[in-house]
Amino acid sequence: MQRARPVYNNAGDFLLVVAVDSFSFPSGHAARAMFLALYALVWLQQGSQMAWAVPIIVWGLATAFSRCLMGRHFLGDVLAGLLVGVLTTAVVTQGTFALGGLWIPAAQASALHAHIMDQIHALMPQRL
């Protein structure tokens, strides 16, 4: 759907941001924030780190609803984006919202993550 952004959206307040599109529905930021928050919770379930659950969900929701406060989206755009994030997490975990449901086994995902982090660290300049 190609709904225009709110009329109170000030496109001139971007300093170093390039707008990908000028449409509002659904909110991609809300979708990505909710997916990342839920996916992080999926990984945190394996340990005793569930104390992070509330801050992670608050971050995801704050990111999503900040889009309304900044005038970038309507409330419905953000709610639809949140739903897209939840559905994306459901697809990735095959509806289980648990590590056992991941399309890629957890051990393989952990190995891939470690490899990516090694590559990132290799590219970073050494500290003196």
User: What pLDDT is stored for residue 45 in this prediction?
Assistant: 79
Active site residue 29: yes
Q: Does 40 have pLDDT greater than 60?
A: yes
DSSP state of 127: P
Q: Which of 29, 113, 115, 121 is catalytic?
A: 29
Q: For residue 84, what pLDDT band results from cuts at 50, 70 and 90?
A: very high
Active site residue 121: no
- pTM for this prediction: 0.67
Tell me the average pLDDT across 20-27: 68
Cα separation values, 66 from 51, 58, 73, 79, 105, Å: 24, 12, 9, 12, 34
Q: Does 91 have pLDDT greater than 50?
A: yes
**Alpha carbons 111 and 1: distance in angstroms, whole number:** 38
